[in-house]
Structure 1
Amino acid sequence: MIHDGDGGSEITNTLVDQGVVKSFDAFYAILLQTKPEPVFQPGAYQLKTKMVASTALDALLDDGTRLSETVVVPEGTATVDVLQSISEGTDIPLADLQAAAANVASFGLPPEATTLEGFLFPATYTFSPGDTAQVALQAMVNRQFEALDTAGVAVADRWSTIVFASLIQREAGLRDDYYKVSRVFLNRLDPTQWESGLLQSDATVAYGTGNTHLVTTTNAERADAGNLYNTYVHPGMVVGPISNPGDLAIDAALHPVDGPWLFFVTVNLDTGETVFSTTVAEHDAAVVVWQNWMREHPEYG
């Protein structure tokens, strides 16, 4: 998806993340050299993977690669951003989507749900011309119910499963780490292992501030008790979903691996390598590794 307002760096990052091009620098350099400056239309595009940078740019500018009435929702996308993507990929106005989403009771969600957060399954959707906002959103909700049913989640457990899966989705990186992240948070909910009962997730705090794209927070944000999603202050599971999780996160919520870990930190943002620790000393050592990596890669700062 190319979103309204995306600049060259955002588009290049998307292409790298999706495996369309290998190098950020190669594509971005061609983008800067192209005159007149390319104009990209928001929406979904179908491209091959492992493309040469110049070929990828030509493909993006070819009207034939833009998919009509198609929306791509990546795992972990927040609902506010899903609504934006639907409006960019279809003819449905954003205002219609926001109005439909506000009528939460019409979608058959668990009674605890006050928004659609967590229940818009991340996938690629193709809608028909004339589909309404209600039809589009219900299709995503139904697809999430299908995922939960396939995973063996009882209707009564849909809410708790989605809340936990949404947290794992935002905090985990590599595939195998999802099951370890799940275990860390369950260990923190066990008073015999983690007395405070505080999950201490930056992703929950960021969500509560409205920063749906971040998993970093400030000292002031982590101290704000007015943020109901602040798991540095409020013990127990986060009060609601913080993203729309996919199959892997749902499975990890249901089937955590066994382990004693209480901490984790990603020490290489390029590879996603994450260190899981049991003691404060182990974790502090891993944090130093991460800090050193960040100093060597200031572009991530």
Structure 2
Amino acid sequence: RRQREPGPQRQAAPVGVAAAAADRTPASGSLEDLFSGRAHSDDVRGAARPPKRRRRVGGWIALAVVLVIIGGIVGGGFALWNTYGDRVREFLGTGEPTDYAEGMATGEARVTIVAGDTGESVSPKLFEAGITKQSDSLYKYMVQNNVAFTFQPGVYKLQQQMSSPAVLTALRDPASRLNHSVQLREGLTLNQSLDAMSEQLSIPRADFEAAVADPSQYGVSASTLEGWIFPATYDFDDGVTATQVIQKMVQRTVQSLDQAGVPPADRERILIIASIIEREARNSDDFYKVSRVIENRLQPDNDETHGLLQMDSTAQYGVGEISAGSSSSSENALTSDNPWNTYIHPGLPIGPIANAGDLAIDAAMHPVDGTWYYFTTVNLDTGETVFSTTYADQEKAVQQFRDWCSANPNSGC
């Protein structure tokens, strides 16, 4: 907070001094007049002089005022630049390019395009695969150049560090499309996986439904192949059948289980836990902590949960709402008496709820040490998750999530 500067006390001046100053504008001798130009430094020196110590104090105050002004200008400049810098650089053409230069492309990368994809939805996929420089490079290019493009579903072989025009050229080229490849991401259900395989491999879905009808032909004793279709990218020869596709994916799941040290007798149990981890954990760093929560809650002698998992993902799966796009469960999901509703039935559900990748399988086998019984994702954008040992702390986390949802409507709450 700035304080007003006290003016020097005027004293009777000698006649000679007063006469010498008579031809100039009378000066108060204040810093304000000096800075504004209404007084000359000689006027200040010619005015009645306060004690030396006061002059020094006044000088320091003047310096402080100058520094405050300069700091304000600099701070304001930074604030303005942070707000409008990108627009200024874009206008002047001096900003960092949003695209890689032509001729930089190298190596190999793949991207999967699904039905309904647009430039806005494809752009982040290209960036994550290392193909484009920014997450919105392709989308910006298409908007700025008014490019109309229809994206055809399929797996495409591209290169890393491509320019946006080169990406579109490659996507137009039929040779870039891998007609016998399929890419499955983690967390898909069996039905979602069959849809993706049929679309990407151009094999009728009915063929895949017939191929998964009898899990025993692949050495799986479970009643369905839910959780046994491993998420990865697969290449197949021309003429591959649906049964051959499923066989390769199940074998890949067995390979992952073996690598994690899962005994054959425990495969189904680990896949159940891994599938829950895959659907519940928002960040890979939390996989092993979610695994610990599951193990802690499964202990029948604890007074905190009495063996109930109470996982929303399992309750949603039991009523077909796991892909509904909401992180919160409906009343129907929480109360429906089905073998996947872990709010009602203690222990694990009767089978996996989705496919799980290597990390989730390893986390299911090797939970980190901890005393948590609860976890709640409190920010769906960042995936920030709070782990709690007591129900009281869990209630605080739930309220934090509710507050976030109130501040971020239509965000998947």
Question: Structure 1 length as normaliser, TM-score?
Answer: 0.87
Query: Partner residue of 1:165?
Result: 274
Question: 1:150 is aligned with what amino acid?
Answer: Q
Q: What residue ranges of structure 1 are gaps of 5+ in the alignment?
A: none
**Alpha-carbon distance change, 285 to 54 in structure 1, aligned in 2, over 3 angstroms:** farther
**Aligned equivalents of 1:71, 1:10: Cα separation in 2:** 19
Structure 1 residue 141 corresponds to structure 2 residue 244: no
Instruction: Report which structure shows greater RCO (CA 8 Å, sep ≥6).
Output: 1
Structure 1 residue 121 corresponds to structure 2 residue 267: no
**Aligned equivalents of 1:91, 1:30: Cα separation in 2:** 31
C-alpha RMSD over aligned residues:
2.7
* Per-residue CA distance 1:161-201 (angstroms, 9 max, x = gap): 11111111111122221110011111111231434322111
Query: Partner residue of 1:238?
Result: 349
* Per-residue CA distance 1:186-244 (angstroms, 9 max, x = gap): 11112314343221111112222223434634442233333321111222111110011
Question: 1:144 is aligned with what amino acid?
Answer: T
**Aligned equivalents of 1:259, 1:47: Cα separation in 2:** 44
Question: 1:140 is aligned with what amino acid?
Answer: M
Which of 41, 48, 73 is matched with 2:184 structurally? 73
Query: Partner residue of 1:208?
Result: 318
**Aligned equivalents of 1:246, 1:271: Cα separation in 2:** 21
3-state SS of 2:276 partner: helix
User: After the TM superposition, which residues 103-118 of structure 1 pair with which residues of structure 2 at under 5 Å, given as runs?
Assistant: 103-110=214-221, 113-118=222-227
Whether the aligned pair in 2 keeps the contact of 1:205 and 1:217 (CA below 8 Å) is no
3-state SS of 1:275 partner: strand
Count of equivalent residues: 299
**Aligned equivalents of 2:133, 2:405: Cα separation in 1:** 22
Question: 1:211 is aligned with what amino acid?
Answer: E
> Cα distance, 1:87 vs. partner?
1.5
**Alpha-carbon distance change, 53 to 199 in structure 1, aligned in 2, over 3 angstroms:** farther
Query: Partner residue of 2:151?
Result: 40
**Aligned equivalents of 1:7, 1:206: Cα separation in 2:** 29
**Alpha-carbon distance change, 53 to 190 in structure 1, aligned in 2, over 3 angstroms:** farther
Structure 1 residue 252 corresponds to structure 2 residue 363: yes
**Aligned equivalents of 1:178, 1:262: Cα separation in 2:** 14
* Per-residue CA distance 1:56-84 (angstroms, 9 max, x = gap): 55554444432221111111111111112
- Percentage of identical aligned residues: 45
**Aligned equivalents of 2:219, 2:375: Cα separation in 1:** 36
Whether the aligned pair in 1 keeps the contact of 2:292 and 2:370 (CA below 8 Å) is yes
Structure 1 residue 281 corresponds to structure 2 residue 367: no
Whether the aligned pair in 1 keeps the contact of 2:299 and 2:306 (CA below 8 Å) is no
> Cα distance, 1:120 vs. partner?
1.1
3-state SS of 1:125 partner: strand
Whether the aligned pair in 1 keeps the contact of 2:272 and 2:353 (CA below 8 Å) is yes
Query: Partner residue of 2:402?
Result: 291
**Aligned equivalents of 1:267, 1:48: Cα separation in 2:** 37
**Aligned equivalents of 1:258, 1:71: Cα separation in 2:** 37
Whether the aligned pair in 2 keeps the contact of 1:206 and 1:216 (CA below 8 Å) is no
Which of 361, 382, 393 is matched with 1:271 structurally? 382
Query: Partner residue of 2:298?
Result: 189
> Which of 220-229 and 259-268 deviates more?
220-229
Larger radius of gyration: 2
**Alpha-carbon distance change, 197 to 222 in structure 1, aligned in 2, over 3 angstroms:** farther
